[in-house]
Structure 1
Amino acid sequence: MFSVTLQSVWKNIYRQKRPWKRHIFLLFLVGAVSAPISYYLLHRFAIGIDPQNNQCLPPYRIYLVDKYDKVPVKGKPFAFESEYIRPYGKGIKMIDGVAGDTITVTPEETTVNGFMVGEGLELTRESGHTKEELTRTGVIPEGRIWLMGRTKISFDSRYWGTIPESQILGRAYPIW
């Protein structure tokens, strides 16, 4: 019959322990490999979260921001910083216009090169402007971009105009 005592179990466990020097070597090896990889990933990527009740790019709320990808691409979401976005100073919007594009903003719609990219001016009062002040047509200058949300109540370039490309933080990839 097989008999197990606490003392026999303890002896088996004690015999299977590795020397402490091997543990230190493995710990150093894991740290040496994971530290540069972690640094690279944390330096290159960031997580962007849209805390608003009314999202400007539904249905997504969480984004992975690639801080090394800053070349503006029309129709793609990008993270940016701007003094117009309060209280956070950072936002994620779609780039709908780049240098050379013709922008037309009216109370009914916003167009880029004749294609509608937004409707209305729902936040006119909150922006501190009148619809007449916001109605305009122009060409986006070199080094600037036009950013838009995908809802009528998105606070975007309709209200504050273009921003410099230097304020792009990186391309945003929707996660959830």
Structure 2
Amino acid sequence: MSLALVTFWRASDYRLGVDVQRFTGEPSCLPFTLFVMHMQADRPPQRGDFVVATMPDSGLPLGARPGARILKRIAGVPGDQIRIEGTELYINGLHRDRLWLAKSLPGKQPGDFDLDLTLADGQYFLLGSTQESFDSRYWGPIHREAIRGYAHPLF
């Protein structure tokens, strides 16, 4: 019975995920500890979805690992206006957050991340759930092809 369950789980498109940052003493970027990942991006992403994506190359000069998987919430969808001025982030003209990490990234200043763009078809702007999250505020939007699946919080 248990062998059948393990075989089914491994052959399926579902994975169990744990936010390990909670156990290392680092700030967690997610509002939950345990989640199920559905590793099929079989529907269009929507604002508010938690997605599993591949880190874009634009994050690599800032210390990200090539091909690293990230889990973030979609904050901007195609057609949204994204503006970053200094340390302030605006989405569709509404203040959403600050760039809390801008001063601590090696060789970077807050103005280095200034941005004013409308997300094109297939572009998404991702945010973590905490101010310390390393997300689209620092490496820009991701493309639809980078989204590998969706995450569903358990607790």
How many residues are paired up? 143
Structure 1 residues 88 and 142, CA gap change in structure 2 (3 angstroms): closer
TM-score normalised to the size of structure 2?
Answer: 0.78
Which structure's residues are more often helix, by fraction? 1
Gaps of 5+ in 2: none
Structure 1 residues 51 and 107, CA gap change in structure 2 (3 angstroms): farther
1:66 aligns with 2:7: no
Out of 143, 148, 155, the position equivalent to 2:122 is 143
Q: How does 1:1-176 map to 2 (within 5 A)?
A: 34=4, 38-39=7-8, 42-52=11-21, 53-58=26-31, 60-70=32-42, 71-82=44-55, 83=57, 84=59, 85-86=64-65, 89-126=68-105, 128-176=107-155
Counterparts of 1:118 and 1:134 in 2: how far apart (Å)?
Answer: 14
- Higher RCO, 1 vs 2 (CA within 8 Å, ≥6 residues apart): 2
> Is the Cα contact below 8 Å between 1:57 and 1:150 reproduced in 2?
yes
Residue 150 of structure 1, CA deviation: 2.0
Gaps of 5+ in 1: 1-29
> Is the Cα contact below 8 Å between 1:118 and 1:151 reproduced in 2?
no
Which structure's residues are more often strand, by fraction? 2
Structure 1 residues 127 and 163, CA gap change in structure 2 (3 angstroms): farther
Aligned sequence identity (%): 27
